[in-house]
């Protein structure tokens, strides 16, 4: 079920949005301040964030910047700041859409559906070839290519289907994050925060363990990886 995080310090608005969204079969989490919102995104991995800018502890623009440091979750700003300069700032900071208060509920729901469609189309396009493997991020499926048979006259019916590689849920999360940033350094703290949450941002031993598991399954020579590289003291990199 699709999960939406609503971030706003107006309790009546939170309640109204929660009722409307749950009536349409969304799962709904709420946060009344920026710190709680950042923690909730790391812990619960929502599909969309609906964010007010006027929060009591952290300005919404800082929340957007903080989230964009480690996640691409769609962010829809829902704010009373109607000045075009505010909209430009929010969009430049990484927001995907901007709705001003007072707002029409049907319009907000349409914006949420549009954000979900865009995210789904982006994910469905993520099919990546890594050495001998084809990785389908949307289907969570990895297949290994089989060389063509050398014997003449072998009927196609006798060819075996490509073998699949099985990853743990945590290995999938790490791999997906690396593959979506080809050639870029992904810092260890970002991996740890997005996958396990802020409390685990220093648990580099667990991260190394799972990276080693990915290399055993996907690299032809795990001791000398070609695709999943370590940047000592910094993080990891997927090298296409």
Q: Where are the domains of the chain?
A: 3-123, 127-238
pLDDT at 92 over 60: yes
Are both 3-123 and 127-238 of the same fold?
Answer: no
DSSP the chain: --EEEEE-S-HHHHHHHHHHHHHTT-EEEEESSHHHHHHHHHHH--SEEEE-S--SSS-HHHHHHHHHTT----EEEEES---HHHHHHHHHHT-SEEEESS--HHHHHHHHHHHHHHHHHHHHT-EEEETTEEEETTTTEEEEPPPPPSSTT--GGGSPPPPEE---HHHHHHHHHHHTSTTSEEEHHHHHHHHH-GGGTT-HHHHHHHHHHHHHHH-SSTTS-SSEEEETTTEEEE--
Give, rounded to a whole angstrom, the gap between the first and last alpha carbons of the chain. Answer: 33
What CATH number does the domain located at 3-123 have?
Answer: 3.40.50.2300
Nearest CA among 67, 34, 58, 47 for reference residue 5: 47
Q: Which residue has the higher pLDDT, 91 or 183?
A: 91
Q: Provide mean pLDDT across the span 14-29.
A: 93
- pLDDT bucket at 211, cuts 50 / 70 / 90: very high
Which range has the top average pLDDT, 119-123, 200-204, 232-236?
232-236
Nearest CA among 38, 31, 99 for reference residue 71: 38
- pLDDT bucket at 153, cuts 50 / 70 / 90: low
pLDDT at 163 over 70: yes
Strands (E), 84-183: 97-100, 127-130, 133-136, 141-144, 164-165
pLDDT at 150 over 90: no
Architecture of domain 127-238: Orthogonal Bundle (1.10)
Q: Provide mean pLDDT across the span 215-220.
A: 93
């Amino acid at each position: 079920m699709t999960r939406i995080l609503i971030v706003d310090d107006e309790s009546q608005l939170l309640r109204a949005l929660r009722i409307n969204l749950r009536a349409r079969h969304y799962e709904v989490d709420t946060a009344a301040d920026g710190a709680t919102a950042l923690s909730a995104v790391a812990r619960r991995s929502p599909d969309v964030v609906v964010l007010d800018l006027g929060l009591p502890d952290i300005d919404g623009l800082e929340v957007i910047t903080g989230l964009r440091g480690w996640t691409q979750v769609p962010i829809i700003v829902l704010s009373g700041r109607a000045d075009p300069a505010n909209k430009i700032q929010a969009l430049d900071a990484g927001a995907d859409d901007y709705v001003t208060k007072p707002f029409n509920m049907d319009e907000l729901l349409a914006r949420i559906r549009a954000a979900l469609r865009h995210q789904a189309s982006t994910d469905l396009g993520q099919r990546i070839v890594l050495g001998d493997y084809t990785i389908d991020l949307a289907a969570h499926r990895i297949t290994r290519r089989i060389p063509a048979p050398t014997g003449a006259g072998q009927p196609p019916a006798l060819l075996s289907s490509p073998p699949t590689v099985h990853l743990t849920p945590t290995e999938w999360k790490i791999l997906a994050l690396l593959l979506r940033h080809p050639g870029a350094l992904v810092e260890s703290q970002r991996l740890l925060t997005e996958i396990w949450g802020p409390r685990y941002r220093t648990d580099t031993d667990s991260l190394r363990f799972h990276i080693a598991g990915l290399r055993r399954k996907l690299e032809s020579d795990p001791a000398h990886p070609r695709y999943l590289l370590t940047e000592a003291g910094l993080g990891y990199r997927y090298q296409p």
